[in-house]
A = this chain, B = another copy of it.
Amino acid sequence: MADIFANISEKNKCKLLKILEANTHTFRKNEDITGKLKNENLIGIILSGVVEIIREDYDGNRTLIEELEAGDIFSSKFSSIENVDHTMVVIDEATVILIGYNEIINCDLDKDYYIQFMKNLLAIFMEKLQEKNEHLEILSRRSIRNKLLEYFRVMSKKHGSRFVYLPFNFTDLADYLVIDRCAMSRELKYLKEEGFIEVKGKRITLLYDRR
């Protein structure tokens, strides 16, 4: 993700954070931080660590909504952490900047570093939109096989390589693709047998023409 403070000096960054009343927090591994972020129109920026947003329904089905790493953002508005069935869990100790959305929008400043900050934020929003769009494209495939292949296509395109390194484990992958883990495992077996892919740990090699 683009750097939210790109082209802003350390001094101006501090000024800005003060004006926007930003808070920096560090959360411990395995901490459930859902409650700390609810009921406020917040934007969070991950400085370091890993955080996951998960939904778990009454049948026990887990959905991995997002996995956030350094540079990533989240928000009570578009990360659906307001809902009771959503949880935000710290995977690796994470440091997060929290800024009120209203503070950003209502800020009456015409300094160049504020304009730069808006540009950076816009760029990040753009990337986030791309990510959500990719996820949507994957979930709009009608079969397990096509969801897997679309996921591989997106990942392969993103890194420009026939090797896809899973950013999480297979259980989480199934939750991200919104399919049963066992059924996914079966389909991966078929894809291997039919010579489409090769799997070695979290590295998947695409053996077909990626066009």
Q: Chain A interface (Cβ within 8 Å of chain B)?
A: 55, 57, 59, 61, 63, 65, 75, 77-80, 101, 104-105, 110, 112, 114-115, 118-119, 121-123, 125-126, 128-130, 132-133, 135-137, 139-142, 146, 178
Contact = CB atoms under 8 A, between A and B. Distances in A.
A178 B140 CA distance: 6
Given A55-B140, A135-B136, A139-B136, A78 B115 contact: no
13 contacts: A55-B137, A59-B142, A65-B136, A77-B130, A80-B133, A80-B137, A110-B112, A115-B115, A118-B119, A125-B125, A125-B129, A135-B136, A142-B178
Given A55-B140, A65-B140, A78-B133, A126 B110 contact: no
Contact of A142 (B61, B80, B105): B61
Contacts of A57: 141-142, 146
A89 B63 CA distance: 32
A104 B112 CA distance: 15
Given A118-B115, A178-B140, A178-B142, A129 B55 contact: no
A101 to B, nearest CB: 7
> Assembly of this chain: how many copies?
2
Given A105-B122, A119-B105, A139-B178, A130 B78 contact: yes
B140 A63 contact: yes
Contact of A122 (B63, B122, B132, B140): B122
Contacts of A128: 129
A142 to B, nearest CB: 6
